[in-house]
Structure 1
Amino acid sequence: MNSLQEPPSRVESLSEISRFRAGLHACFTRRGDTLFELADAMLCAQGPVRSPVELSLEPEFRRGHGSVYDALAAGRISQDRLRRLLVGVSAPARAGEPLMFAIDTTPHARPDAEYADERTMVQVRGKGGDRWLPGWPYSLVVGVQWGSSSWVDPIQARRLRPGEEHTDVTIEQVTGLLADVRATGKQQPADPPPLVMLDAGNYATDLTHALADQNVQLLVNRPGFDAMPRS
């Protein structure tokens, strides 16, 4: 019987997935094996996952349902490692063009979670108008692709704690992002500086001052003003 060779493209795709899974496993610093199986179960679920315990019913999760809550309560994930892993697989820039990223906040309303810690009032948009509800605001970092695609590459979701200034969190995210693009080889010395686009809610002057020594371009949206590019 003659064996059939896999097409090179398929072999390379499987190799990339294997490397990504190994990198993801390294991000789980406590209860790592359980969290890794939960991630596999979530990716392989055939429908929406409405509660964590449902993941224990997936064949990819080989542990008891009690370990799900143990992992969620006691498990730990290295946010820096995960961000760098996701930067490494984000879309490359076009030749001669900068890498593009966007940072914006999004609300996660939790009006019924009376015992959830650190809730603040978040603005939820809807057809009937905006509402303010208790919940958690997140600052999201995504990679933006060139061309007509509306897809973005998720890189980081950072919850804004009560009392934290949004601009300070943005500065921290941009600084970490720039370190990651250098460390992963996405940014070479001759390449144009990465372009980071920011929606309203950030102070352009504070960003400019804090990131003055960084090789980055900023495009800040300020209501009532023209967008402010910085190089």
Structure 2
Amino acid sequence: MFRQELMGCFTRRPDALFELTDAVLATGPVLSLPHLSLDPLHRRGHGSVYAALAKGEINTGALRDMPARRLDQRPAVFALDVSCWARGDAECSPSRGFSYHPTRHSAGKPIIAGWAFSWLAGLELTTNSWTAPLEVVRLLPGASINAAAAAQILRLLSRLPDTSGRFPLFVFDGGYDPIRLALALVATPVDQRALGS
């Protein structure tokens, strides 16, 4: 069922995109794009990898809605956090900024140069570490993490199935400002809880 829904999100060159997705998920680190065509799940030639990426089309709205539709059997608990993809030696990387990092340091400060991403994930209330990533947004340098989080929450609420009067619970790391979030979501039926880092 999930695979059929995923295939339906590919509107142009669906077979090539689907096999490329399988290869990306099943293969470990690869040196270049043609290496993905060597995976047994990718049954096409290496040229189809480039064709899928150059000419394939994805219905991003349907792809974004698909995971949210599958959350109706789970408690509505979500987490937001910002993580950084380190790009310390890539001075020419577009939109590279400086972000907090708990374990890496630059010039004695807990910051790194790289790309910041705001993650929104569904949580399970069991004793495992599984999450359901629902949306990731790249943050430009100087962007407000609170504004990005509020926008992600509003987009998710428009995609969630009817929660039958239950308010979704959103938890945040210590870097978020609970006052700004509360003001941005004042008319939204959500439960917000700020967690310490």
Runs of 4+ in structure 1 displaced over 6 angstroms?
A: 127-130
**Paired position in structure 1 for 2:114:** 135
Distance 1:33 1:108 in 2: 31
Q: Does 1:162 align with 2:168?
A: no
Contact 1:109 1:124 in 2 (8 A): no
Q: Does 1:60 align with 2:41?
A: yes
Q: Does 1:200 align with 2:174?
A: yes
**Paired position in structure 2 for 1:8:** none
Residues 212-227 of structure 1 aligned to structure 2 (within 5 Å) = 212-221=186-195
Q: For the structure 1 residues 40 and 211, does the alpha-carbon distance in structure 2 shift closer, same or farther, using more than 3 Å as the test? A: same
Shift of 1:162: 2.8
Give CA-to-partner distance per residue, 1:116-151, whole Å, 9 cap, x none.
322112334437886533211111111111122222
**Paired position in structure 1 for 2:183:** 209
**Paired position in structure 2 for 1:83:** 64
Distance 2:190 2:118 in 1: 19
Single out whichever of 24-33 and 173-182 deviates more from structure 2. 24-33
TM-score normalised by structure 2 residue count: 0.81
Single out whichever of 113-122 and 211-220 deviates more from structure 2. 113-122
Distance 1:202 1:147 in 2: 25
Q: For the structure 1 residues 203 and 119, does the alpha-carbon distance in structure 2 shift closer, same or farther, using more than 3 Å as the test? A: same
Give CA-to-partner distance per residue, 1:135-192, whole Å, 9 cap, x none.
111111111111222221121121112342211111111011111212xxxx3324x2
Unaligned 5+ runs, structure 2: none
**Paired position in structure 2 for 1:118:** 95
Q: Does 1:102 align with 2:76?
A: no
**Percent identical residues:** 35
Give CA-to-partner distance per residue, 1:42-78, whole Å, 9 cap, x none.
2333xx2234332111122233334434544665544
Unaligned 5+ runs, structure 1: 1-18, 224-231
Structure whose CA Rg is larger: 1
Q: Of the candidates 153, 158, 181, which is equivalent to residue 174 of structure 1?
A: 153
Give CA-to-partner distance per residue, 1:12-67, whole Å, 9 cap, x none.
xxxxxxx211222233355544322111112333xx22343321111222333344
TM-score normalised by structure 1 residue count: 0.71
Letter of the structure 2 residue corresponding to residue 37 of structure 1? E
Shift of 1:91: 7.4
Q: Does 1:50 align with 2:30?
A: yes
Distance 2:120 2:54 in 1: 25
Letter of the structure 1 residue corresponding to residue 114 of structure 2? G
Letter of the structure 2 residue corresponding to residue 100 of structure 1? V
Contact 2:23 2:39 in 1 (8 A): yes
Distance 1:219 1:66 in 2: 49
Contact 1:121 1:133 in 2 (8 A): yes
